[in-house]
Amino acid sequence: MSNAKTKPRKIGHWLASCNMSELTHVFSLKNISYRHFIDRSGKHKLIHFPLCVNAIAMKLSRPLPGLTEFIILIALLTSLTAFATDAMLPVLQVIGGDLNISHENDAQYIISVVFAGLALGQLIMGPLSDSMGRKPLMYIGLGIFGVGSLLSMFSNDFNTMLIGRFLQGLGAATPRILTMALVRDCYRGREMARIMSLTMLIFILVPMLAPAIGQGIAWLAGWRAIFAAFLLLALGSGLWFAMRMPETLLPEDRTRLSVTEQVSAIKAVMSHRKTIGYTIMTGFIFGAFLGYLSSVQQILQVQYELDEQFPIYFAALAASIGAASYLNARLVIKHGMVRLSRMALWLVIICSALFVMIAWLSSGHPNLWLFLTYIAITFIGIGMLFGNLNALAMEPLDKHAGLGASVIGSLSTFMSIPLGTLIGQSYNGTVIPLVSGFLIMGVASYLAMLWTEQTSPGKLVIR
């Protein structure tokens, strides 16, 4: 390291020292952290990191991908569930016809069964992620997703299709959980918040584009080719992850898998009023949204006869949730999560109550643009609730937050599946079941909020 070009002057503050035989020291120079180590061949090497990188990241066996590459990879893995559901929407009725379903509403199960797998996967994969490491579990999850894609692609009956879709949801739970853990492992402070925000921005774009992508693939090669695209997406993202992302959970930082701790986390969620209250609210709101996802294709493509234009309208409505996320980020610091959630619920309830009357007066078939306006405004409230309720549910859990997040996500999803399925299966050729579902779920969520906020603020430590 005698060369001046490879050995910067050791100025600045000492950052860390790691108990690794090959590592000599880590120091900073002009807002850059340098890791100096000697590899197995005896050569001196110098790797630099931004100061915002977590101290754990500076112990890794190889450097992280660049920030842009890291964000794109994380967003791609996070979006697997959204792509696997929304890309199927334009072809639900075609699949139902080819697989000889008994009732056209049964095609909705192609969507809802994915969330059943996702709910179970979150409960299983969350605890495993802290004991197995990030990379092995990611490969397992993507492998399960790929098997589900193959099973659905070659299915000749509806039951086989549903089994494949369940496996897709089960596998997609892993990247959904691990991507947030990876960001937390590698970054801290404002850079972590920035990465999460940019990831969510890309994640919001996926529901806007996925139906058009799915429809385009189906036009070119049939609906089975969509599952081939899912398989290629899993393989491609898995290879990219394997080649570019180091293992971010070091062996000494892993925890022993404990059934006792998992049971404690479940008990905490079930016993703490604020946590269970906001989890119930999330279940109600996501139940209404799942009812929308299940029936929107029939409403727009069949009832309003939009056909090939369906992806355009679906994307425009999805943009409302993105706008709500941006609005919530601007307002939450000033007004707080509870107040914004209450305002968002009132927006959903009032708009839905008014539109139920409009729908009844129009025999369940209101003007298209009036219906789209209602959904867009309601999605402003839904998007703000999505941004706040999970954070409110997590707030009281000081310890084992990872386990708590898995339990909260799993319980709220399990709760939403029968509610969303009931709303979707009630579709009768009119918008009345969907709008009524939003109204009922909004009122139920508001009642849950009143019950939740009766208690004084407190913290629960899981023992």
CB 277 within 8 A of CB 408: no
Domain limit, last residue, from 240, 257, 274: 257
Whole-angstrom Cα distance, residue 272 to residue 460?
7
> Is residue 6 domain-resident?
no
Longest dimension (CA), the chain: 84
Q: Between the CA of residue 118 and those of 114, 128, 227, what are the distances in Å?
A: 6, 15, 18
Q: Are residues 128 and 242 in the same domain?
A: yes
The gap between the terminal CA atoms of the chain, to the nearest Å, is 50
Whole-angstrom Cα distance, residue 4 to residue 1?
8
Domain that holds residue 69: 64-257
- Classify the C-alpha dihedral 359-363-367-368 as positive or negative: positive
Q: Are residues 235 and 343 in the same domain?
A: no
> Is residue 463 domain-resident?
no
Q: Are residues 290 and 366 in the same domain?
A: yes
Q: Are residues 44 and 70 in the same domain?
A: no
Whole-angstrom Cα distance, residue 51 to residue 33?
6
The total number of structural domains that make up the chain: 3
Give the chain's residues under pLDDT 70.
1-65, 187-194, 196-198, 200-201, 249-255, 257, 261, 265, 268-269, 397-402, 455-463
Q: Are residues 227 and 287 in the same domain?
A: no
Name residue 176's amino acid: R
> Is residue 402 domain-resident?
yes
Q: Give the model confidence (pLDDT) of 411-437 as tens digits.
A: 889 999 999 999 999 999 999 999 999
Structure-block tokens of residue 349: 């309830």
Whole-angstrom Cα distance, residue 289 to residue 281?
12
Cα Rg for the chain, rounded, in angstroms? 24
Structure-block tokens of residue 380: 């402003």
Locus of tokens 């069964």 = 113
pLDDT of amino acid 23: 40
> Is residue 58 domain-resident?
no
Question: Do strands 32-38 and 23-29 pair parallel, antiparallel, or not at all (unpaired)?
Answer: antiparallel
Structure-block tokens of residue 213: 């992508």
Q: Are residues 68 and 192 in the same domain?
A: yes
Phi, psi of 460 (to 5 degrees): -120, 130
Q: Are residues 283 and 197 in the same domain?
A: no
Whole-angstrom Cα distance, residue 254 to residue 262?
15
User: CATH number of the domain that 348 lies in?
Assistant: 1.20.1250.20
pLDDT of amino acid 400: 56
pLDDT of amino acid 353: 97
Question: Do strands 14-16 and 23-29 pair parallel, antiparallel, or not at all (unpaired)?
Answer: antiparallel
Q: Are residues 104 and 226 in the same domain?
A: yes
Q: What's the 3-state SS for the chain? A: CCCCCCCCCCCCCEEECCCCCCEEEEEEECCEEEEEEECCCCCEEEEEEECCECHHHHHCCCCCCCHHHHHHHHHHHHCHHHHHHHCCHHHHHHHHHHCCCCCHHHHHHHHHHHHHHHHHHHHHHHHHHHHHCHHHHHHHHHHHHHHHHHHHHCCCCHHHHHHHHHHHHHHHHHHHHHHHHHHHHHECHHHHHHHHHHHHHHHHHHHHHHHHHHHHHHHHHCCHHHHHHHHHHHHHHHHHHHHHCCCCCCHHHCCCCCHHHHHHHHHHHHHCHHHHHHHHHHHHHHHHHHHHHHHHHHHHHHHCCCHHHHHHHHHHHHHHHHHHHHHHHHHHHHHCHHHHHHHHHHHHHHHHHHHHHHHHHCCCCCCHHHHHHHHHHHHHHHHHHHHHHHHHHHCCECCCHHHHHHHHHHHHHHHHHHHHHHHHHCCCCCCHHHHHHHHHHHHHHHHHHHHHCCCCCCCECCC
Q: Residue 279: CB partners within 8 Å, gap ≥ 6?
A: 269, 393, 408, 411, 412, 415
Domain limit, last residue, from 257, 280, 298: 257
Q: Are residues 252 and 356 in the same domain?
A: no
Structure-block tokens of residue 437: 């579902």
Whole-angstrom Cα distance, residue 202 to residue 78?
9
> Is residue 174 domain-resident?
yes
| Count of C-beta atoms within a 10 Å radius of residue 102 | 8
Count Cβ atoms within 10 A of the Cβ of residue 140 and give its class: 0-12 exposed, 13-18 middle, 19 or more buried: middle
| Count of C-beta atoms within a 10 Å radius of residue 330 | 9
Q: Are residues 78 and 193 in the same domain?
A: yes
Count Cβ atoms within 10 A of the Cβ of residue 307 and give its class: 0-12 exposed, 13-18 middle, 19 or more buried: exposed
Name residue 301's amino acid: Q
Name residue 48's amino acid: H
Domain limit, last residue, from 257, 279, 314: 257
Q: Are residues 169 and 96 in the same domain?
A: yes
Q: Are residues 24 and 94 in the same domain?
A: no
Phi, psi of 349 (to 5 degrees): -65, -50
> Is residue 398 domain-resident?
yes
> Is residue 190 domain-resident?
yes
pLDDT of amino acid 399: 56
Structure-block tokens of residue 173: 């739970």
pLDDT of amino acid 84: 92
pLDDT of amino acid 129: 74
> Is residue 460 domain-resident?
no
